[in-house]
Structure formats: C-alpha cells, structure tokens
Amino acid sequence: MEGPLSGDQKVTGAGMLNGAKLAADKLNAKGGLLGKQIQIIPIDDAADPPTGVTAANAAIKQGLDGVVGPYNSGVGIKTLPLYEAAGLTPVRLTSDSATNGMGYTLQPMDYQIAPVATTALTDWLDVKSAAIAYDPTPGYTATVGAQMKSSLEKAGVKITAYEAVKPGASNYTSTVKKLEATNPDAIYSVVYFPEGGLIAKEMNASSSTVKCVADYASADPGFVTTAGKAAAQNCPVVGVPSPGDFPTGGSFDAAYEKEYGEGPGTWSSYVYDSVNLLADCVESAGGFDNTPNADNSTTAQVAGSTALTKCLNSTKDWKGVTGSVTIDAANGNRNPATVVVLGTDSNGELHVDKDWANAVGAPY
C-alpha cells in the first residue's frame, strides 16, 4: 500500500494504510487468498515523487504480488509505471487523467470532478465571479486548476484571479488578501488539505463575505483539523461521501473505530474496497498474473497474463463499502464516480452536504 505515510499529508496515508490492513485482516480471518495469508507492506512516498520512486523500487525488489495506491497523482505518474513494469496490476487512488490506464481506480478522476464542482458553484451557491488558488505542482492540482478555470468560464463565471500558491507555507494571509481584493463571489482553492485548511482558516478570520469552497484535494479530516471547525463549516469541500454516508458504511465505520480507536479517514473505505476488489479478481483469475524472478522482482507470465485484468475490466455492480462499482475498461476508471460536496457537521466531521444534494438533485 503506497501513500503519504510521512510529511504534511501523513494523516491521509495513515487512514489509507489502516483501511488496507482492515481488509487484509478480514480476508485472512476467512482463510486468506489462494490459501495464503495476506501481508500489507507500507510504502511511504511522503507525497513526493523522488521519495516515492525510491520507496517503490525498494518494495518491488523485496517482492510484491499486488499494490494499492498511490494517492498523489504527481507521485503516481512516476511510480505506477514502475509497478506495471514489474508485472503488477495497481489499484490506484490517483485522480489526474495522466494516470488513466495505469491500473484501475475506485475513486473519481479529474474530468469527473470539475463538472460537479462547477455546478455546485453556479447552481447551488449562485457564484457569478470566482478567484482560483491552485497548487502548480505537476499532477492533479495543476490539472484541475486549469480545468476549473475553463469550466467556470464556459459556465459564464468571471475569473477575477488565477493564482498559483506554493505548498507548505505556514499561512496564506497574503494570498487570501490578494484574491479577496479582486472582489470575487467565491474563492475556489485547488490545493491539498494542509493548504486548503489554512486558506479556509484565513478567510474565516478575515470576516470576508467572499464564499470559500475547497477542491477535492482538500477532502480529508485533516482539512477540518487544520482550518478549525468554525472555518471548515464556512467552507464546503468537493469530495466523496464519508463511509457512513453510504448505505452499508455504518458497519465499516464501527469496525474501523473498534480496531483503531478513531473514525476512518476519507480514503480508508476506498483502500478497503480496493484491496477487496483486487482480492476477488485474484481469486477468480487464480493468481496475480505475475511470478517472482530470482531477484524477487516480478514479470508478467506470458500464459494467462490477462486473466486478472479481464476480471477487473469486466467489473460491474460490484458491491463495496463505497457503493456499487463498475469499471470502464477503456481507462480502468470507475463510472459513474462518487463525487459530492461535503459539509462539516457539529462534531467536526465531513459528510454529504444535504443542502447541496437537495439543490442539485443528488441521490444522497
């Protein structure tokens, strides 16, 4: 399981890893997979491409049968080809279209996210003008920043500012002041949650009338922790439903909390489902379609090498914690995607915003 297990986004990685372990524990309790127990190997990319490449190569050398992750698209662009070259079939959590076809994913892609975000701004919040703050790091945020600018302009929204922000700063006071000075109806921040939370916090402190909306990259409990509950409640986040928002998510929530003493992260359930979907198809295919070499690297078998991918490509209405899953064989992506707008409740938890759902007719 590759993810940001250290650095600013480590809370995301921890939730991912716990989701993978919970899936493995349940599978192992039922006898494991193909008669063997499943072991989850943590691969820490620290949300940094060079770190990810080093970690992925080391894990591949030690020997892997499958891989779930990474989360950050900028990392995945570099590490996913390494796994594929080693004969592995990744089930990724990246959302940038640059990773289309690199394995499979159960979470939404950029081209599925921008339309929902645009509709939320125009049809729900009645935004006529917007300023966009975006992380220019190559990958998801840079891609979606450009997509949102184009999508909003096509919807008739005036873009008053399109501002690149440097990730990792301790505050974004000057950025918020600069964007608010352009008099937009809303500021849409296409940044990961450490930055998104700080932007929301600053906007709340400034007592501005400008609406705050955070992009999908900020959809994490860490957004609320960083912003503070009051600021988070004034800044809806485009994201995916929390486990408890899904029909069968309550039992997952309970099992996760019993095991780890806290609620799941945003991506815990998606990793949990990813491990289980991969396991189901491995069981069906009779293997991972790879075999260890003398140096413990892996090479896809020539005979029957498409059995696993055939199963994944044909996934239709597979039921998981995150709802029904159907895979588009053309790109390995889930369709339809589970994109929603989240609000922060009185407990400081992110859940589907009912006001948004009612306004746009979403089935939540």
Between 325 and 361, the more confident residue is 325
pLDDT in tens, 184-230: 999 999 999 999 999 999 999 988 899 999 999 999 999 999 999 99
- Total domains in the chain come to 2
Res. 293: pLDDT tops 50: no
pLDDT in tens, 249-262: 889 999 999 999 99
| 219 and 355 belong to one structural domain | yes
Question: In the prediction, which pLDDT does 208 show?
Answer: 81
- pTM, entire model: 0.88
| 303 and 349 belong to one structural domain | no
Question: In the prediction, which pLDDT does 348 show?
Answer: 95
Q: 185 — phi, psi (to 5°)?
A: -75, -30
| 52 and 172 belong to one structural domain | no
CATH number at residue 192: 3.40.50.2300
| 50 and 119 belong to one structural domain | no
pLDDT in tens, 12-53: 999 999 999 999 999 999 999 999 999 999 999 999 999 999
Domain of 291, in residue numbers = 2-108+246-331
| 227 and 137 belong to one structural domain | yes
Question: In the prediction, which pLDDT does 248 show?
Answer: 80
Res. 357: pLDDT tops 50: yes
Question: In the prediction, which pLDDT does 289 show?
Answer: 72
| 276 and 320 belong to one structural domain | yes
pLDDT in tens, 90-120: 999 999 999 999 999 999 999 999 999 999 9
pLDDT in tens, 297-349: 444 333 334 789 999 999 999 999 999 999 999 999 999 999 999 999 999 99
On average, the pLDDT of the chain sits at: 93
| 33 and 152 belong to one structural domain | no
Long-range contacts of 244-248 (CB under 8 A, 24+ apart): 244/351, 245/340, 245/351, 245/352, 245/364, 246/321, 246/322, 246/323, 247/323, 248/319, 248/321
| 67 and 141 belong to one structural domain | no
Given pLDDT bands bounded at 50, 70 and 90, which one contains residue 290?
Answer: low
Hey, what are 349's tokens? 């938890």
| 346 and 205 belong to one structural domain | yes
pLDDT in tens, 231-244: 999 999 999 998 88
| 158 and 117 belong to one structural domain | yes
Q: Which of 24-38, 74-88, 204-218, 279-293 has the lowest mean pLDDT?
A: 279-293
| 235 and 272 belong to one structural domain | no
| 218 and 348 belong to one structural domain | yes
pLDDT in tens, 119-171: 999 999 999 999 999 999 998 999 999 999 999 999 999 999 999 999 999 99
How far is 60 from 62, CA to CA, in rounded Å?
Answer: 5
